[in-house]
Structure 1
Amino acid sequence: MATLLPRSLRSSLITLALLAAAWLLLAPTQLGGQVSWLVVNGNSMEPLYHRGDLVLLRAEPQYQVGQVLAYRHPEIGPVIHRAIGRDGALWVFQGDHNTFIDPYRPHTSDLIGRAVLWVPALGSPLIWLRTPAVAAALAFGMGLLMVQIHSTRRPGRARPTPAAARIPAQAGLVVTAAGLLLSLALGVAALVRPAQRATSVELPYQQAGRFSYTAAAPPGIYDGGAAATGEPVFWKLSDTLDVAFAYTLTSDAPADIRGTARLDAELGSADGWHRTLALSPARSFAGGAVELRGQVDLASVKAMVAELERQAELPKREYTLRIRPTVTVDGALGGQPLHESFAPALTFQSDEYQLRMVRDPERDALAPAKAGALTRTSIGNEQIFPGVPLGVVPARWLAALGLLISGGALAALAGPLLRRLRGDPAAQIRLRYGGQICDVAAPARSLAQAIELGSIEALARLAERSGAPLLHEQGPGQHRYFTIVGEQTYVYLADDPAPPTFSQPVAAEPAAVVFPSWQDVFLSTLEQSGLASEASRAAGVSLVAAYRQRETDRRFASAWDAARTRALAQLR
C-alpha cells in the first residue's frame, strides 16, 4: 500500500521545486544558470529599451537576422543591438534609435545571447547591489552565517570546506535580492487570489424504461402463439393482457438510489371520462433498477365500457388504454440529494374490435427515457497557480517567511553599507548614476587635453544632454569618469579610498614584426592616443577594416593590445 508523505515534507518538496524552476528560468550565468543579465546603459535601443532597463539573454545554438542580440565589444564591453545583416561568421548590428551601423562587426563566438525577457527600470537597482560596499556587506553577513553554522556543528565531525566561502559576495547578494523579489511576487499572486473557491460540477444521470406485453390467443393466430409487443390485441381472441416495465437510473457519479414504484392501467375517453386500474401495488426498491409486472383483465375492461354506454345511452366509440408506471426516487447522487419521478405511458387505442399500440414518430414508445443533472458545489482551497499543488494560504505564509528572511538579511547589511558609502565617493557615484555608467578597460582617447569638471553631477548632465555614454575607468588610487562630446573630452576624477596594493600588469613587448605601412601608422597612432578610431583615420583605412585585420592576424592583434597597454601606462 502506498504511503503518503507527511504534509510538511510535501510542502518542502513543492517549495524546492518552485525555487528550482525559478532558478532554471532566471539564474544568471555567473551563478551557474543559463541566462545572462544585461543592464541598458544608453538610448540606442529606444523606444524598445531605455536606460536602466534589465534585459535577460539566453544563448542559443543559432541566431537569426532581425533578432535583438548582445555581443562583446573589445573596448566598451557588452552591447545590445539588433542584428541587421550577416557576412559569414561576422554580424552587422544597429541600434533601433541609431541612424548609423555599428562599426565593429562581432564574430559569432562574441555573441552573448538573444533577448528573451525585459524588465523596465530594474537594472539600476541591480547595479547598486553589485557595488563593492554592498558586496562587502553581503560577505560580512554570509560570514556571520558561516560562524553560526560552525558554532552549532556537533563536535567530533570533520569540518568540510564551507561552500559559501567559495561564492563571490556579489553573487550571494544577487541571490538574496532574487529571493526577495520571488517572495514579493509570490505574495502578490497569493494576495490577489481568494483563499477558497466554490466549484460547481454537473452530475448527469439518465432514467430509462422498457415496455413489453403479451396476450394469449388461440393457436394459429400469431406466429408465437400469442400477441407479442407491438402487435394488436383482439377483444374476442384474448381475455388478458400481461404487461411489464423495466426501469433503470444510471450515472457515472457514485449513486445511492432508493424509491418506490407501482404500475397502473388508465382507461379513458376523449370527453374526459377515465378509470384507473391498479396492476401492481407500490413497492420499494434500491439500487437504481426495478421491474414491474401486471395483468389487464380485458373481459372486465370490455364489460366496464359496455355498462358505461348502456347506462349513459352512448353510441359505440373509441377508448384509450394507457399502461403507466410511476417511479419515485429519493436517494443521493455524487453526495447530493436526488428527488426524481418518472411516469411514462404506453398507449393503446381501442375500438369495437381490437386494442392497437399507438406509435410516436419522434420517439420510441416502448423505450421512454428522461435525462437530468444535479449541480454539486464544493468549497475548496484555491491553488496559487493552475496545476501546482500549492494552496493560496500556504503560499501566503511562504511568501511572508521569504520576505522576512530576505528583508532581515538586507536590513542587517544596511549599517555596514551606509558606513562604506560615506567614505567611498566611487560607491556613491555608482549608487546614483549606475544606470548611466559604462565601465571600460581603457579610456576611449587620451585624457591629456581633457577638461576636468568639478562635480560628477555636471559631467552626468553634460552626458545626458549630448546623448553620450558616461564612461568609467579605474586606475591605481583613482576613478576616472569621462564623456566625449564631439572632439572634446570631459573628465571628473574621484579618489579611491582603498587603492589596490598590486601593480597593473603590463603586456610583454611583442617580438619585432614587420607590418605593412598602414599597420605601422595605425599602431604608432594607437600607442599615442589609445583610440582605434583616430589610429584608423591616420592609417587611411576604415575602422571596420582594421577590426577585420585584427580578427584574421594574430600578430597584429597582439601588437594592437601592446600599443593600447602602453597608451594606458602613459596616462597613469
Structure 2
Amino acid sequence: MAAILGMAAIGAWAIMTERVGYVVTHGTSMNPVYYQDDLVFVMKADSYHVGQIAAYHGESPGQRVLHRIIGGDGSAGFVIKGDNNESVDPLTPTTEDMIGRAVLHIPHGGIWLKPLLGPSGLGMLSFLVIGGRAATARTRREIPRGRRKKKVKAMSTRQGGSWATVVTAVTAVRRLSLMLRAAAVVAAILTLCALTLGVLGWMKPLVETRPAAAPAPSRSITYSYSAKVPKSAAYDNTTVNSPDPVFRKLADRANLNARYEGPAGRFKLGATLTNGTGWHTTMTLVSETSFTSTTFDATVPLDFSALVDRADNASRAIGASPTGAVTIALTAQVSSPGLATLAAPLQIGINRFAMTLSEGKFKTEAVAAVAPDTVVPREISILGHSFMTASVARSRAILLLIAAAAVAAAVALAALRRLPVRTRAEIERRYPNLLVQVEPMASPPGKPVVNVDNFPALVRLSEKYGQMILTWRRPDADDFVVRDEGITYRYRVPLDDEPTLQNVDFINRTTSGTHRHKAPTQAS
C-alpha cells in the first residue's frame, strides 16, 4: 500500500506539473505508426532530438499536434513533419513549446476515452469507483421454504434503502486497515478533483470569443485663419477665410485659430521659422494650458511683416541676401490621460505678395480603429484568478480519474483478500496448506470448546499455536478446529444457510449435559 500511495503521489505530481499528457489522434498524418482514434501518452522532456515523435500546441486553441521531428534544434525551433504528410508543419516549436514525447501507444484507445469526455461520463465513473464496493453482489444459497419466515426480519433490515446502503459502505470502509483507508481517501480525493476539473472543463467550449476593448474616443485638431480686408476686386467681401490666400497688399495681419475636440487634457502650440538658408528658430505661440471641457480654442495673431523681418534679419546676420519670405511650421499638441499625444502639423508660407498654405491639412484626426473580436482559449478562474485553460483542465481530469481508478482497484483487490470466507470451497481455495482432512471426532470430555465467529481468527490461532486446522464434514455443517492445551477452537459453516455471527461460548461437556458461559467474541 505504501507503494500504491507513492505511485499515486508521483502520478498527481506528474499531472499537476504537466509532465504527463495524452493525445487522441485524428486523421492519417502519422500512418502507419498511428491511426485514427489512437491514444498516445506523452511525457515532458528536457530535450528532444531528430527522429522522436513529439506533441506540441497547434495554431488553434486546444489543438495538439503529434508528429515526428526531422530537423532543427530546441532553441531555434524544430522542423516537424507527419510521416504520411508530403510537407513539413508550418510551426517550428522550441523545447519550451513542446508538450512531450510519445511514451505509450494504445491502439484505438481514444474510442473508449471519448465517452469520458463529458460530465455525465465522469459522474458515472466516479459513482462506480466510490459505490462499487458497497454494491458488490453476494452469492447466496437458496433458503429452504421452512426457514423463510425466520429470515423475514433479518432480510427487512438489509433492505433499508439508500441510507442503509450508505451505512453499509461506511462500515465496509471502516473495517479496512489504516493503509487501505488512506488509499481509499486518496482515491476519493483524486475522484473529487477529477470531477471538479471535468465539470469546469466541459461545462463550456474550449475557446471563447473575447470582445475587443472599447476604442479610444475620437480626437481632432482643426486649423483656420481669417483676415479683415477692404473692399476690392480681389475678394467678394471684407473677410478672408482659410484656405484662401491672404494678399499682403490688402491685409498684413491674420488671426490663426486651432480648435481641439475630444477628452480634456493639456494644449500647446508652437511654430518653427525657416527661410531656405538653413536658419531656423522656434516660437511658442500658446504655452501649455490645461482644460477640462471637450473642446478648446486657441487664437493667435500673425503679423506677416514682423515674421518676414525676423527671417530677413537672420539672413543678413549670416551673410545671405534677404528673400522677403518665411515658412512657418505649426505644431499643435494635446495630451490627455491614458491616451497618446495628438500632434497636428501644418505649414504655411509668407512671401512678398501673400500668405498661403504650403504643406499639410487643416484638420488632423485620431480615430481609433475598432478591433475585431478575438477567439482565445477559455480560462478557468476561481475568485477572479485564472489558473489553467479548459483544455488543460480536461486533460488533468482524465488523468486524475485514471489515477483514482487505479488506486480504487488496488484498494478493492486488497479488501477482497480480507473478506470473510463463507463456504468450505472458499476456505479450501484460500488456505489449502493449513487444512487437514480427518474423520469426525468428538471433543474431549470436560474440555472447553470455543466457537470463533470468523475463519481468519481460527487461522491466527493456528499460526499462534503452530497447529494445523482439522476439518471434517457433518450432516448439517462443516467443522474446522484447532486444538491446543486442552482447548478446542472451532469454526462451523452450516450447510443450509450462511454462517451467522455467534458469541464465543465456552462449552463444558459432561456426561450429564452441556453448560454454556458467555465469553469475549475473539480469543487472543
Task: Decide which structure has greater helix share.
Answer: 1
TM over 0.5, yes or no?
Answer: no
Tell me the TM-score range normalised by the shorter chain: 0.3 to 0.5
Structure 1 length-normalised TM: 0.33
